[in-house]
Structure 1
Amino acid sequence: MRILICDDDPDFRTLAHRQVRREFLEDEVVEVGDPAGLADALSAEPAPGLLVSDYSLKWGDGFDVLAAVRARAPDCPAVMFTGTGDEELAVRAIKAGFDDYVVKSPKQLRRLAAACRAAVERTETRERLRRHGELLTHELYHRLHNNLQLVIGLISFTARSLSDPEARARLGDLALRVGSLSRLQERLYRGGNLREIDFAAYLRELADDLATLGDGRVAVEIRTGDGVLPVDVAVPLGLVANELMTNALKHAFPEGRGGRVTVGLRIASGELELEVRDDGVGIATGAASGAPLGTGSGSGIVERLVAQMRGRLDVSLGVEGGTRCLVTVPREAPS
């Protein structure tokens, strides 16, 4: 570990150096007395692992030093060691990100060393907890994905044992919905970022899986660039995309008719637009009366999810026939 002691008084730098060295026998201690020395220290490897800085410097102050060090090493613990200031400065230092504030005097040198050790140990503890938490979260998502796969298998097994075609179809729809959730969970786990999902990649995977519903007669086209969304938005929007695409593939192309389903995602300022359109028979003849998407459970799921996201659902005839569904939702999940 590299320890930076930043002070324009060489005597106090030496005193602080000696005390810190007693706590950190195996570590490198670098004294910084001017801006050039700070620049050199920050450009060297490894990044600083501890900062001890005075507040009042001839060329700036301790807050400037802290900002420069944290730009290089965001988690670097820091202790302010100064003879300038009072309780107000101490509070300001802690709020700014210093781990401790020690009054500069020979009598406080031992406390300086103890404060440095405590700051480093707190940082190490936070890092261990963060890593442990991430490992637990990854394991949770991995197990959830496996459990969803098990549920899909059980649903499929149950469907095959039923003689009623309508019941089998309903279970098949349920398996598709659980599969959509499983796909999202897998992408979240594989991506390594548990807060965001590459939604554009998810749509492409979903399209490949659902294209079989059209028996090869219907092409599915995804028109979107990069689309990384917060997980709280991606999950309900992914379920909506699954329902709209499934609905189009199953109902817009009856009696062996071929065609195309096009899915687009546009990310505008503060809003997301998910568009699913087809060139099939259109809502005038292809949808049941009384509801924009029909009266099945899928339409109810879409409407509830869009309402949950405080969004809008617009269903209309496409320009070249068929049906156009446009979902507009806030870019951030409602609190």
Structure 2
Amino acid sequence: MKASLIEDEEIRLALLRGYNILDTAPDEGFDDITKLAAEICEVPIALISLVDDKRQWFKSKVGLSIEGSQIDDSMCAHAIAADDYLEIFDTAADPRTAGNGFVTGPDQIRFYAGALLEDDNKLPLGTLCVLGKEPRQLSDFQRRALKVLAVQVMRQIELRKALADAEVLRKEVDHRVKNSLQSLEALIRIQVRKEKSPEARAALDSVQGRLATISQLHEALYLTDSGAAVDIAAFLKKVAHSTSEQMPDGVQIEINLEQANLSSRSASSVGMIVNEAMTNAAKYAYQGRKRGAFNLSGESRDGFYHLSCIDDGPGIPDTDPSGTGLGMRILTAAAQQLGGEMTLPHRERGGEIKVIWPIID
């Protein structure tokens, strides 16, 4: 017998579909609850059943191999119609389930108990249910446990939706910030073309480069599927490509970066380091030359990430790395934000800015 569902059925169905859980992959968190329900209730079959308009779909299952069934064979639909916990001691003797395919077919289900999966407004998505092949009754303890586990299933569903909603919001924010920063970059480029003072043009170029770094960070966050973690290799390649526009045309840029995930804040600091290193090289390393080389490399070693920015210019003067210029202060501050250290290793030819920081999983 097909169950007649609740008066607010359209609202219930909209709620169910709004959770975006139908036809999703198996989830260990749900499977653990289903297994526990089967063990506590001492039955061979336990299901997390979500009841749609024409079918029921099993988010998690123990003892059955099928993914779901037509709504006509859904015992869980009767639980929703009853608007409460439902226990059928003998499914073959109950008129609601006597003709059910799970009862008359090869599964030969003779017992059913289902606790509703309800939201805060008491609208049910489905049930956490247990089934057996012999008529029986659950003990009071087993009934209470099944209801408690159903509440935990619903909390898991709501938590996953909250995380998904937060991810959508985060991506939207990153997308809008990126667009706003790119608009500001465009305005600065227009001002650079109008500006006659070389010093002012250089200052605006520097600001534009820093904005580009932050914009690319937000683009990386928007495109990634790993939350607020950024693939540092892919991100720095974009930073280097953008900043390379400040380099003379004949400068060859070589990039060799090992992949590592960083938080958005750490990635911002690393991006600033690369931007400042390349900007500094563009100003001082290739004066009077049409050709040159710049190498950006990074690798994970012994729990630390080693990043090197090397040019083939006259070298960096032997000064205190803390320096007095804005660029050097930015480099030092960025390294400190990473919990790392910046050094200027001596080289026979060229200049190197090296930053080492701990990798935190």
Deviation, 1:145, is 0.9
In structure 2, C-alpha distance between the alignment counterparts of 1:252 and 1:30, rounded to whole Å = 62
Structure 1's 113 and 26: CA in aligned 2 closer, same or farther, altered over 3 A? farther
Deviations 1:209-244 (A, max 9, x none): 233323212111112233333333222111111111
Conserved 8 A contact 1:218-1:249: no
Deviation, 1:46, is 4.7
Deviations 1:242-291 (A, max 9, x none): 1112211221110134211111101112211110111111124xxxx755
In structure 2, C-alpha distance between the alignment counterparts of 1:184 and 1:8, rounded to whole Å = 50
In structure 1, C-alpha distance between the alignment counterparts of 2:253 and 2:59, rounded to whole Å = 62
Amino acid at match of 2:333: R
Gaps (5+ residues) in structure 1? 48-78, 80-98
Conserved 8 A contact 1:260-1:279: yes
Within the candidate set 298, 315, 321, 2:344 is matched to 315
Partner of 1:206: 239
Gaps (5+ residues) in structure 2? 1-21, 23-30, 69-114, 116-127, 129-136
Partner of 2:148: 115
Partner of 1:296: 325
Amino acid at match of 1:6: A
Amino acid at match of 2:344: V
Partner of 1:324: 352
In structure 2, C-alpha distance between the alignment counterparts of 1:158 and 1:291, rounded to whole Å = 34
Deviation, 1:147, is 1.5
Normalising by the residue count of structure 2, what TM-score does the alignment of the two structures yield?
0.62
Amino acid at match of 2:211: V
Structure 1's 125 and 212: CA in aligned 2 closer, same or farther, altered over 3 A? closer
Amino acid at match of 2:38: C
Structure 1's 45 and 259: CA in aligned 2 closer, same or farther, altered over 3 A? farther
Deviation, 1:167, is 1.2
Amino acid at match of 1:325: I
Partner of 2:206: 173
Partner of 1:253: 286
1:242 aligns with 2:272: no
Deviations 1:31-66 (A, max 9, x none): 97xxxx6xxx5xx4659xxxxxxxxxxxxxxxxxxx
Amino acid at match of 1:226: Q
Amino acid at match of 1:111: R
Worse-matched range after superposition: 113-122 or 133-142: 113-122
Deviation, 1:113, is 4.6
In structure 2, C-alpha distance between the alignment counterparts of 1:291 and 1:30, rounded to whole Å = 62
1:217 aligns with 2:245: no
- 3-state DSSP of counterpart to 2:352: strand
Structure 1's 29 and 269: CA in aligned 2 closer, same or farther, altered over 3 A? closer
Deviation, 1:164, is 2.4
Conserved 8 A contact 1:152-1:175: yes
Worse-matched range after superposition: 254-263 or 228-237: 228-237
More helix by share: 1
Q: Give runs of aligned pairs for residues 29-40 of structure 1, distance below 5 A.
A: none
Partner of 1:272: 305
- Alignment RMSD: 3.7
Structure 1's 8 and 325: CA in aligned 2 closer, same or farther, altered over 3 A? closer
Normalising by the residue count of structure 1, what TM-score does the alignment of the two structures yield?
0.66
Deviations 1:123-177 (A, max 9, x none): 2211221211111111111111112112212322333343322112101110001
In structure 2, C-alpha distance between the alignment counterparts of 1:249 and 1:279, rounded to whole Å = 11
Amino acid at match of 1:13: V
Conserved 8 A contact 2:213-2:271: yes
In structure 2, C-alpha distance between the alignment counterparts of 1:298 and 1:230, rounded to whole Å = 23
Partner of 1:158: 191
Structure 1's 29 and 238: CA in aligned 2 closer, same or farther, altered over 3 A? closer
Structure 1's 192 and 107: CA in aligned 2 closer, same or farther, altered over 3 A? closer
In structure 2, C-alpha distance between the alignment counterparts of 1:210 and 1:332, rounded to whole Å = 28
Structure 1's 322 and 268: CA in aligned 2 closer, same or farther, altered over 3 A? same
Partner of 1:87: none
In structure 1, C-alpha distance between the alignment counterparts of 2:262 and 2:169, rounded to whole Å = 23
Moved runs in structure 1, 4+ residues, more than 6 A?
Answer: 27-32
Deviation, 1:327, is 0.8
Conserved 8 A contact 1:283-1:316: no
Deviation, 1:316, is 3.1
In structure 1, C-alpha distance between the alignment counterparts of 2:231 and 2:59, rounded to whole Å = 44
In structure 1, C-alpha distance between the alignment counterparts of 2:359 and 2:347, rounded to whole Å = 25
In structure 1, C-alpha distance between the alignment counterparts of 2:59 and 2:316, rounded to whole Å = 74
Structure 1's 8 and 159: CA in aligned 2 closer, same or farther, altered over 3 A? closer
Amino acid at match of 1:167: A
Identity percentage of aligned residues: 26
Deviations 1:179-220 (A, max 9, x none): 011112111211222232121122222332233323212111
Conserved 8 A contact 1:277-1:324: yes
